[in-house]
């Protein structure tokens, strides 16, 4: 199937059957997430990949009582940086220089562009980093569809409790969204056979 066919096939799976997603498919989805675009290319987030049943049970009981947490093969938690500091920018500048074989000093003008981010409030910075995490999140959803893997995007969880379960409270990270990967349970998911509902092209697009 092509991309449009895959996007028509996918839906936010409500119940999963517990079947494990082959590791090679998981790796492709994660690599797509890694390659997703972000502002400046900074990737100001971490993706926590949870397969352990005991940890998923804790997440379910303490932070997100949605069945996909326990029924999925893997649960991806996108944790955005709560604040961007100069050290994070310096590390990124060094990574660019090392990867491209150039001098750090040649990136001074690019580094200066981060000034507005570093000087911003924590609230503003977190809103920005969360948006970057959402870009990668969206790419992960599409990548899963391309691999014939069901995915459930989730926001309905207690972020404070989630961060506590994952030990993120003092790590400048907070979970902003969840992507459960697995396979649909067609017997128990009433939406598995229903038509996809989307606005028409005429309603969605405004050509000028």
**Residue whose pair of structure tokens reads 């590791």 in the numeric block:** 23
pLDDT at 116: 83
pLDDT at 109: 95
For residues 60-76, average pLDDT: 97
Asked if 181 and 12 touch (Cβ cutoff 8 Å), the reply is no
CB atoms closer than 10 angstroms to residue 26? 20
- Going across the sheet that includes 150-154, the strands are 45-50, 74-81, 173-182, 150-154
- CATH number, residue 193: 3.40.109.10
- The parent domain of residue 13 ranges over 3-204
For residues 137-163, average pLDDT: 97
pTM score: 0.95
Asked if 34 and 20 touch (Cβ cutoff 8 Å), the reply is no
Three-state SS for 76? strand
Task: Name the helix (H) or strand (E) containing 71.
Answer: helix 68-71
- Evaluate the CA torsion angle 144, 149, 150, 153 in order and state its sign: negative
- If one counts the domains in the chain, the total is 1
């Amino acid at each position: 199937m092509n991309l449009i066919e895959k996007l028509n096939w996918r839906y936010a799976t409500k119940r999963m059957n517990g079947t494990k997603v082959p590791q090679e498919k998981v790796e492709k989805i994660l690599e797509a997430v890694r390659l997703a675009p972000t502002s400046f290319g900074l990737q100001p987030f971490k993706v926590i990949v949870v397969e352990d049943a005991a940890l998923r049970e804790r997440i379910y009981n303490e932070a997100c009582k949605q069945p996909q947490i326990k029924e999925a093969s893997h649960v991806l938690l996108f944790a955005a940086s709560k604040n961007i500091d100069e050290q994070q920018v310096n590390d990124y500048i060094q990574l660019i220089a090392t990867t491209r074989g150039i001098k750090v000093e040649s990136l001074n003008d690019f580094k200066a562009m981060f000034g507005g981010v570093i000087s911003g409030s924590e609230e503003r910075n977190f809103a920005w980093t969360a948006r970057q995490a959402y870009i990668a999140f969206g790419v992960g959803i599409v990548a899963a569809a391309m691999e014939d893997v069901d995915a459930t995007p989730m926001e309905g969880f207690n972020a404070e409790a989630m961060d506590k379960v994952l030990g993120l409270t003092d790590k400048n990270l907070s979970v902003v969204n969840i992507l459960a990967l697995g396979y649909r349970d067609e017997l128990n998911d009433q939406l598995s056979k229903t038509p996809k509902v989307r606005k028409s092209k005429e309603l969605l697009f405004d050509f000028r």
